[in-house]
């Protein structure tokens, strides 16, 4: 059994305070200069109330490393990496270890984004190792789960999503629900402009919540934040973030413009 203490408890998040998380995934966009310009503009936005909204941005590795050397990132923005190595160190050309990510000041890391699963072809076993390795380095994994359109139409949502959770969290024991974030991202609604209905989102999040309680225990599983990702934008975020089982959003395209991202943050604060 792998047990992980509450290191990084300054990131602690209690479900009962109704905090929303607004996370921006830049994917393969933005040079170093573009990243600095982005944050210079975002810094002019009104900082959200710390007890209501947590903001996380996931730049590419190059921008992440460069941002660590400047004061361009607002203090109210946390940084994360879009991926992480499954090993601590060694002869793994092109890989970036959890310790390297931590050295940038980043606190979070995406694990198992659908593009990593379906385009890059990462296995569930590999993703499990990445998650455990991240926890050992006191990084907070944002574990992404979700089904394809074919799997949904075949009635395999629970089979697929529960299987992804089971494999990634196998033998993992947490001391605090704030050590993990789960993002539900139906693959068929990512970058397509097609969003799941609020009823579909709420149903999926409720199922994930109950399964997390089974895997991690009622208290821990009940306090893990569950985000929704899939064509989230200012026009639909209020209705999505306001759903009982949704704790925020993992946002792709709409996070690339600082004005739109600032609007999403403001919406989250008002929900």
Residues recognised as catalytic = 113, 185
Task: Tell me the residue length of the chain.
Answer: 271
27 is in an annotated binding site: yes
Any binding-site annotation on 26? Answer: yes
Report the relative pairing of strands 172-174 and 140-145 from DSSP bridges: unpaired
Q: Say which residue the tokens 């990445």 belong to.
A: 130
Q: Is 97 annotated as a binding residue?
A: no
Q: What is the C-alpha separation between 218 and 209, in angstroms, rounded?
A: 9
The reply, when asked if residue 253 is annotated as ligand binding, is yes
Backbone angles phi, psi at 2, to 5 degrees: -100, 120
Other CB atoms within 10 A of residue 119 CB:
9
Helices (H), 15-123: 32-42, 61-67, 98-103, 114-115
Candidates 10, 3, 6, 67; CA nearest to 33 is: 67
User: Is 76 marked as a binding-site residue?
Assistant: no
Helices vs. strands in the chain: H and E counts, helices first: 11, 10
How far, in Å, CA of 92 to CA of 210, rounded? 37
25 annotated to bind ligand? yes
Tell me the H-state helices in 43-123.
61-67, 98-103, 114-115
Q: At what angle do helices 32-42 and 258-270 cross, to 10 degrees?
A: 40
CA–CA separation, 73 and 149 (whole Å): 37
The string of DSSP codes covering 133-159 is HHHHTT-EEEEEE---HHHHHTT-HHH
231: annotated binding-site residue?
A: yes
- Residues flagged as binding site for substrate: 25-27, 191, 231, 252-253
- Residues flagged as binding site: 25-27, 191, 231, 252-253
């Amino acid at each position: 059994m792998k047990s992980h203490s509450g290191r990084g408890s300054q990131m602690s998040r209690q479900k009962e305070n109704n905090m929303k998380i607004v996370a921006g995934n830049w994917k393969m966009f933005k040079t170093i200069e573009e990243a600095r310009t982005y944050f210079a503009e975002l810094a002019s936005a009104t900082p959200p109330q710390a007890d209501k909204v947590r903001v996380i941005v996931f730049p590419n590795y190059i921008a992440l490393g460069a941002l660590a050397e400047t004061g361009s990132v607002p203090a109210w923005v946390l940084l994360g990496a879009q991926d992480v190595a499954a090993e601590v160190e060694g002869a793994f050309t092109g890989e970036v270890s959890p310790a390297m990510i931590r050295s940038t000041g980043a606190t979070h890391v995406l694990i198992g984004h659908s593009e990593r699963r379906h385009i890059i072809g990462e296995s569930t076993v590999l993703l499990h190792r990445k998650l455990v390795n991240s926890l050992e380095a006191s990084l907070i994994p944002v574990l992404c789960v979700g089904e394809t359109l074919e799997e949904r139409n075949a009635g395999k949502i629970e089979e697929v999503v529960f299987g992804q959770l089971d494999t990634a969290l196998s033998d993992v024991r947490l001391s605090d629900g704030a050590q993990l974030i789960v993002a539900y991202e139906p693959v068929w609604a990512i970058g397509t402009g097609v969003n799941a209905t609020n009823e579909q989102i709420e149903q999926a999040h409720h199922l994930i919540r109950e399964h997390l309680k089974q895997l991690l225990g009622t208290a821990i599983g009940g306090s893990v934040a569950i985000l929704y990702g899939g064509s989230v934008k200012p026009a639909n975020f209020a209705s999505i973030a306001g759903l009982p089982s949704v704790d925020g959003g993992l946002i792709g395209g709409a996070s690339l413009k600082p004005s739109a991202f600032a609007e999403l943050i403001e919406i989250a604060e008002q929900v």
